Amino acid sequence: MLKQLYQLQLIEMEEKKELDKQRQSAEFQQLRKVKADFAHQKENYLQLEQDLAALNEQLAVFPAQLAELEEKISAENAAIYDGSVVNTRELSARESQIAALTEKLHELQSLESLYMGEREQKNATILELKRQMAHDYEDFTRLKSQVQQLQAEAKQHLEQLEQQRKELEATIPADELAWYESVKNKCGGTPVAMLNADHVCSGCHTIVPPITFKRTTLGQKTVCENCGRTLFVED
């Protein structure tokens, strides 16, 4: 009966290997990485859009402010030339007013062009980010379909193993199965080991003493002294 339990153990190991293979596959790891990169890019993109909106809001007020200043300067100039200025003191006051307004106008103009440059730069960054995201999305779709393909293959294999396991379990008495379940988690999931003709334990690959081999052949309950696995002899 230990031989059947050993076969059951082999099937379980195979199932475990299949599940690990999925998680460790290069495609799965890459998919996770691309997903993380994409999320990061999306975060950047949203931030840029927000910055751009704020910048546009700031830029929207410039035309009115500039027009207002220009209007004031024109009014001052007009006053100088329409003959309403009566003395040199008033003239010099108006002239210095014009100079102050003009300086303010230039400051505002250079601030506006600074903001415009910033907007241009942000738009370029957004464009580049969009291009990168479209490229990554292609990678993502390709990897996803590869992973799905692998998962479908794994699922099929696991179903086959499940079927084999059920058929095998049906040939094993309930108490034997119960014993196996109770020790299953020992020795890394392989509590049963087979001795070959050279007395080598399949679990730890060491040679057991002749007496152990003899007793095992006689069908007595034996364990490997080295690894603790329950032994049986290969036919």
CB-based contact 128:61 (threshold 8 Å): no
Measured in whole angstroms, the distance separating CA 149 from the mean position of its chain's CA atoms is 20
Q: Does 227 bind Zn ion (CB under 5 A)?
A: yes
Which is closer to Zn ion, CB of 70 or CB of 225?
Answer: 225
Which is closer to Zn ion, CB of 73 or CB of 194?
Answer: 194
Stretch of 14-22, 114-122, 172-180, 220-228 lying at the interface with Zn ion (CB under 5 A): 220-228
Q: Does 223 bind Zn ion (CB under 5 A)?
A: no
Stretch of 29-37, 114-122, 149-157, 199-207 lying at the interface with Zn ion (CB under 5 A): 199-207
Question: Which of 51, 8, 38 lies closest to 143 in space, CA to CA?
Answer: 38
Q: Least distance to Zn ion from the beta carbon of 198, Å? A: 13
Give the whole-angstrom CA distance, residue 121 versus residue 142.
32
Q: Does 161 bind Zn ion (CB under 5 A)?
A: no
Stretch of 20-28, 84-92, 124-132, 216-224 lying at the interface with Zn ion (CB under 5 A): 216-224
Q: Does 143 bind Zn ion (CB under 5 A)?
A: no
Give the whole-angstrom CA distance, residue 221 versus residue 191.
13
Query: 224: buried, middle or exposed (CB in 10 Å: 19+, 13-18, 0-12)?
Result: buried
Please compute Rg for the chain using Cα positions.
Answer: 41
Question: Which of 183, 186, 207 lies closest to 195 in space, CA to CA?
Answer: 207
Q: Least distance to Zn ion from the beta carbon of 152, Å? A: 38
Tell me phi and psi for residue 195, to 5 degrees: -100, 130
Which is closer to Zn ion, CB of 31 or CB of 187?
Answer: 187
Which is closer to Zn ion, CB of 31 or CB of 201?
Answer: 201
201, 216, 230, 232: residue in contact with Zn ion (rule CB under 5 A): 201
Q: Least distance to Zn ion from the beta carbon of 211, Å? A: 15
Which is closer to Zn ion, CB of 31 or CB of 192?
Answer: 192
In the DSSP assignment, the letter for residue 198 is T
In the DSSP assignment, the letter for residue 208 is P
Count of all residues that appear for the chain in the document: 235
Which is closer to Zn ion, CB of 2 or CB of 147?
Answer: 2
User: Taking each helix axis from N to C terminus, what angle separates 62-81 and 88-170, rounded to the nearest 10 degrees?
Assistant: 170
Instruction: Enumerate binding residues for Zn ion (CB under 5 A).
Output: 201, 203-204, 224, 226-227
